[in-house]
Amino acid sequence: MIAAQPETLVQLAILIPLAAAALIPLFHRAPNLRETVTLVSAAALALIVWSLYGPVMAGARPELNGPEMVPGIRVALKVEPLGLVYALVASTLWIVNSIYSIGYMRGHDEPRQTSFYVCFAIAIASALAIAFAGNLVTLFLAYEVLTISTYPLVTHKASDEARRSGRKYLLLLIGTSMVLLLPAIIITAAVAGTADFTTGGILAGKLSPLLMTGLLALYVFGIGKAAVMPVHFWLPAAMVAPTPVSALLHAVAVVKAGVFSILKVVVYIFGIDTLTNSGAVDKLIWIPAATILIASLIAMTKDNLKARLAYSTVSQLSYIVTGALLATSLGVIGSGMHIAMHAVGKITLFFCAGAIYVAAHKTEVSELTGLGRAMPITFAAFTIGTLSIIGLPPFGGTWSKWYLALGAIEADKLAVVAILMISSLLNIAYLLPIPFRAFFGRPPASAGAAAAHGHKHGHGHAHGDGKIHEAPTACLIAISATALGCIALFVYPDFLLDLLKQIPLR
C-alpha cells in the first residue's frame, strides 16, 4: 500500500483515470500501448483506493475543497466509509473489466476502440467523484458527467437501434436528474442552508412529514440510475452497448452510483432517525419493494440473455433502495454490502454473456442449450454468479441478503422479509435454468453450423470448423477472477462489514 497523505490519495483517485483519458488518444495508432495505459491506470487506481482503507478505518476523513460554485457550496470531496465501499468496488472491478474489454473488443474487432477507452476512463473518474462527493452539488456534477460520458458507450455501435436506445438513455437519465433530482437538491440547499453530507442529516425538524415524503420521492425517482420503477426503462435500453460496458457500467458503476446516491442521501442528508420519525419511508418503501417483484417477473419473460440480466439488475438494485428506505442501521449495512456483492456477482454474469456472444454469437437464452460442454469455464462461472445473486452459501450474496432481512426485522417490516424471500425464489426461476440448460440440455444438431452463419458481423471465420470454443483468454481470466471473488467474499466479508459499521448514522 502507498504511504501518502490521504488527501493526496483522494486527488490521485480522480486524476489518474482523467489522466488516462487524456493519454489514451495519444496512442491511437499503437493499440498495445493504449491498452497498457488503461491497465496501468486501473491497477494504480485500485492500489490508491485500497490505500485509503487503512486511514479511513483509523478514523481519517480526508477532505478536498475546490472553488465555490453556487452561493455557499463548493466543489468538495470527502471520503467516508460508505463512499469508500463504492469506490473500492468500482476501482477493483475496473482492472478485471479492462482485461476483459481487451479480449472482448479485439475478439470482436470493434471500431472506435480509442474513444471507447477514453469514455470509459472518464466514466470511472466520475464514478469515483460520486463516491467521494462531499456535498450534493458535487455529487450531482459527477452524476451528470457519468451520464454524458457513458452516452457514447451506449451508442457505440452507431446503428439505428443504438441511436434509439441512446435517446432513451439520455432523456430518461438527464430528464429525471434535471427535473426531479436538481429541484430536490436546490430545495434541500434552500431549506437546510447547506448541502454537505453530514452525520445525522441536515433536514431534522426543517420540513413537515408530508414535504419530507415528497422530497424523498423526488430523490428516489430523480436518481434515475437506481432504476426504481417506473424510471427503469433506460437500463434495458442501455444493453445495446458492448458487453464490457454493460458489465462494468450497467451492473456496477452507473447503477451502483444511483443506489449509492440514494443511500448516501438517506444517511447523510435526511438522517435515518429523521426519516423514520417523519414516516416518509413507510409510504415510499413499497415502491422499490414492488420493483423487486415486478422486475423479477419481467425477467422471466425475457429470452434475450442481456435483457434478462438487465431486469435482474433492476430487481437487485431495488434491494438496495429498499434496504436504504428501511432506515435502520442493519438495513444500511445490508444495502452497502449488496452494492459490493451484487456488483461482483452481476459482473460475472455479464462477462459470461459477453463471452458467449464473442465465442458462439448467441444472444438468446433458448439458443444456449448444450453450450456448457463447449464452454465449461464460462458456464461454471455463470453458475457461481447465479448462486451468489440468489443468495446461497458459500457465495457472497448470502451476507447481504442476510443483513437486509435483519434490517427489515429491525424496522418491523415483515412484509419486506417476505418479499425478499419470494424474490429469491424468482431469482432461482429465471437465472438457474440458464446454466442448467447449457450443461444438461441436448444441443440441437445444427448448433455449430448456425453459429458459423447465424450472425451479421462476419466473424464466422474464427469458427470455420463449425465447433464452438471457449472465449478469448483475456475474457476467461476476468471471468474466473470475479467468480472466485464471489466465493472469497463469502469467506472474508469482514473487511467490508467493518468498514460499513464505521458509517456514522447518528
CB of 188 to other proteins, least distance (A): 11
DSSP 156: T
Contact between 158 and other proteins by CB under 8 A: the answer reads: yes
Q: Which is nearer to other proteins, 97 or 176 (CB)?
A: 176
- Which amino acid is residue 399, in one-letter code? W
Q: Among residues 88, 121, 133, 137, which is the contact residue for other proteins, using CB under 8 A? A: 137
DSSP characters for 166-233? HHHHHHHHHHHIIIIIHHHHHHHHHHHS--B--TT-S-TTTS-HHHHHHHHHHHHHH-GGG--TTS-T
Q: Among residues 97, 113, 155, 243, which is the contact residue for other proteins, using CB under 8 A? A: 155
Q: Among residues 145, 297, 392, 462, which is the contact residue for other proteins, using CB under 8 A? A: 145
Binding segment toward other proteins, per CB under 8 A, in 62-70, 102-110, 298-306, 313-321 = 62-70
Alpha carbon of 433 to those of 98, 305, 383, 476: distances in Å? 29, 12, 10, 22
Q: Among residues 5, 68, 373, 491, which is the contact residue for other proteins, using CB under 8 A? A: 68
Q: Which is nearer to other proteins, 57 or 69 (CB)?
A: 69
Q: x/- string (CB under 8 A) for other proteins, residues 17-56?
A: ----------------------------------------
* Dihedral (Cα; 379, 385, 387, 392), 10-degree rounding: 150
* Residues in Cβ contact with 37 at an 8 Å cutoff, skipping those fewer than 6 apart: 20, 23, 24, 27, 117
Other CB atoms within 10 A of residue 56 CB: 18
70 forms beta bridges with 73
Contact between 66 and other proteins by CB under 8 A: the answer reads: yes
DSSP 456: S
* Residues in Cβ contact with 161 at an 8 Å cutoff, skipping those fewer than 6 apart: 240
CB of 117 to other proteins, least distance (A): 17
Range 162-181, binding other proteins (CB under 8 A): 162-163, 166-167, 170-171, 174-175, 178-179
CB of 167 to other proteins, least distance (A): 7
Contact between 67 and other proteins by CB under 8 A: the answer reads: yes
CB of 310 to other proteins, least distance (A): 23
Binding segment toward other proteins, per CB under 8 A, in 68-76, 339-347, 357-365, 424-432 = 68-76
Q: Which is nearer to other proteins, 159 or 301 (CB)?
A: 159
Q: How far apart are CA 375 and CA 45, in angstroms?
A: 32
Binding segment toward other proteins, per CB under 8 A, in 69-77, 268-276, 286-294, 441-449 = 69-77
Q: x/- string (CB under 8 A) for other proteins, residues 233-262?
A: ------------------------------
Contact between 141 and other proteins by CB under 8 A: the answer reads: yes
Q: Which is nearer to other proteins, 88 or 137 (CB)?
A: 137
Q: How far apart are CA 483 and CA 473, in angstroms?
A: 15
Q: Among residues 186, 217, 300, 450, which is the contact residue for other proteins, using CB under 8 A? A: 186
Contact between 464 and other proteins by CB under 8 A: the answer reads: no
Contact between 113 and other proteins by CB under 8 A: the answer reads: no
Contact between 71 and other proteins by CB under 8 A: the answer reads: yes
Q: Which is nearer to other proteins, 60 or 217 (CB)?
A: 217
Q: For the chain, first and last CA: distance in Å?
A: 31
DSSP characters for 17-54? HHHHHHHGGGGTT-HHHHHHHHHHHHHHHHHHHHHTHH
Pair 474, 99: CB distance under 8 Å: yes
Chain-centre distance of CA 30, in angstroms? Answer: 31
Helix count and strand count (H, E) for the chain? 24, 2
* Residues in Cβ contact with 89 at an 8 Å cutoff, skipping those fewer than 6 apart: 252, 256, 339, 340, 343, 344
Q: Which is nearer to other proteins, 142 or 337 (CB)?
A: 142
Q: Which residues bind other proteins (CB under 8 A)?
A: 66-71, 75, 137, 140-141, 144-145, 148, 155, 158, 162-163, 166-167, 170-171, 174-175, 178-179, 182-183, 186-187, 189-190
